[in-house]
Amino acid sequence: MVTTVKKETERPIFPFTAIIGQEEMKLALILNVIDPRIGGVMIMGDRGTGKSTTIRAVADLLPEIKVVEGDPFNSSPEDFELMSESVKSSVMRGEQVPIAYKKVPMIDLPLGATEDRVCGTIDIEKALTEGVKAFEPGLLAKANRGILYVDEVNLLDDHLVDILLDSAASGWNTVEREGISIKHPARFVLVGSGNPEEGELRPQLLDRFGMHAEIRTVRDPELRVQVVEQRSNFDQDPQACLKENEEKQQALKDKIVAAQKLVPTVSIDYDLRVKISQVCGELDVDGLRGDIVTNRAAKAYAAYNERTSVTIDDIEAVITLCLRHRLRKDPLESMDSGDKVQRVFEEIFR
């Protein structure tokens, strides 16, 4: 039996296609939604530049996902990698699991969250007295197959950031207490945002975000007026604004879904892969994450543009987003990190 999870009465979400400017941030979010293995995105920029609005808008844009009804982990009824242990056992026994459809989860992680709130807790007393693994799911369970958003991630405790990044990279969350261990799928797009004036993330943590988008306050007066008018119109009559953008929203949704299906078939020539690694080497990027993420992002961008082969233009569109935060900071270097990536790209690819 298939059911649709009832939607709670919510305030309307500002449509993604109505957001003016901030192209870097929008592109990074779209590519991570197409291929979550890119590793999430860190968005750094001024206050009041629409970071939270854009992230909520991209989650609202996505099509509903098929889940096992009543499962706290948003388990897929078909993909073993996205199933909880209990659902997997039921499927392997050939049992029929109830199916439902629900919106892609968008989970906010508050700054004051504890490790138990994030990872979940095990009721040790119940486990010892009744012999059952009593597990209270945390935010990572709720975020499975969705988006986990951490505003002001640069102010979050480093230990929690480590946990989030480990789960995002592995796709699993493991909770261990007093010799009892429980694990569940936790595959989500990790999105962090912050204001650089309030402090930077440690380089080793920043490096583990797949992409890094920088956004700035719009300075052009006419564009600022457009942004203000668009927001005012939405606040006055949300339904009219949603109706006006309905076709664009559907077209973008269809494009993202098509790209998600196409991305596994996209290839990138050996010569281009060598040049990507050459750029990373020239920029003295530590480790291989930069190479891997740039390859994945280029493939996602090609799929987004309905192609199965990566071009130099695809790489150029994503390489700055993938590498700018991995560069070592030289206090004597006057060139912006993004400009430096572009300069080296031009030298090697053109």
Question: Residue 319 is encoded by which pair of tokens?
Answer: 């390489």
In a domain, 192, yes or no: yes
Both 173 and 273 in one domain: the answer is: no
How are beta strands 135-137 and 2-4 bridged, if at all? unpaired
In a domain, 1, yes or no: no
Q: What is the pLDDT of residue 155?
A: 84
Q: What is the pLDDT of residues 187-212, one digit of tens each?
A: 999 999 888 777 777 777 788 899 99
With bands split at pLDDT 50, 70 and 90, how would you rate the model's confidence at 162? confident
pTM of the entire structure?
A: 0.89
**What is the rounded CA–CA span in Å between residue 118 and residue 120?**
6
Ordered DSSP codes for 94-158: TPPPPEEEEPPPEEE--TT--HHHHHEEE-HHHHHHH-S--EEE-HHHHHTTSEEEEETGGGS-H
Domain range for residue 270? 266-349
Taking residues 15-41, report their average pLDDT: 91
For 178, list phi and psi in degrees, rounded to 5: 50, 45
**Are 54 and 26 a contacting pair, CB within 8 Å?**
yes
**What is the rounded CA–CA span in Å between residue 277 and residue 210?**
16
CA-to-CA dists, residue 209 to 42, 55, 203, 250, 326, angstroms:
6, 16, 10, 29, 10
Q: What is the pLDDT of residue 4?
A: 54
Q: Inform me whether the pLDDT recorded for 164 exceeds 60.
A: yes
In a domain, 220, yes or no: no
* Annotated catalytic residue, options 289, 296, 324, 326: 289
Cβ within 8 Å of residue 275, ≥6 positions away:
315, 348, 349
Q: What is the pLDDT of residue 112?
A: 84
Q: What is the pLDDT of residues 106-130, one digit of tens each?
A: 999 988 888 989 999 887 666 566 6
In a domain, 84, yes or no: no
**β partners of residue 104:** none
**Active-site residue flag, 343:** no
**Are 211 and 38 a contacting pair, CB within 8 Å?**
yes
Angle at 275 between CA 189 and CA 338, to 5 degrees: 55
Length of the chain: 350
Q: What is the pLDDT of residues 326-347, one digit of tens each?
A: 998 765 566 788 899 999 999 9
**What is the rounded CA–CA span in Å between residue 68 and residue 100?**
6
Pick from 67-76, 174-183, 282-291: least confident: 174-183
Both 21 and 108 in one domain: the answer is: yes
List the CATH number of the domain containing 38.
Answer: 3.40.50.300
Both 32 and 160 in one domain: the answer is: yes
Q: Is 172 helix (H, G, I), strand (E, B) or coil?
A: strand
Cβ within 8 Å of residue 73, ≥6 positions away:
84, 87, 137, 141, 144, 184, 185
**What is the rounded CA–CA span in Å between residue 105 and residue 260?**
18
Both 51 and 200 in one domain: the answer is: yes
Q: What is the pLDDT of residue 125?
A: 67
Question: Sign (positive/negative) of CA torsion 247, 27, 210, 279?
Answer: positive
Q: What is the pLDDT of residue 6?
A: 47
Q: Inform me whether the pLDDT recorded for 316 exceeds 80.
A: yes
Domain tally, the chain: 2
**Are 92 and 50 a contacting pair, CB within 8 Å?**
no
Q: What is the pLDDT of residues 83-106, one digit of tens each?
A: 988 899 888 998 889 999 999 999
Report which of residues 262 and 229 the model is more confident about. Answer: 262
Domain boundary at 215, 242, 275, which?
215
In a domain, 4, yes or no: no
In a domain, 122, yes or no: yes
In a domain, 245, yes or no: no
List the CATH number of the domain containing 291.
Answer: 1.10.8.80
Q: Which of 208, 235, 185, 183 is nearest to 18 (CA)?
A: 235
Q: What is the pLDDT of residue 246?
A: 93
In a domain, 54, yes or no: yes
Q: Inform me whether the pLDDT recorded for 9 exceeds 60.
A: no
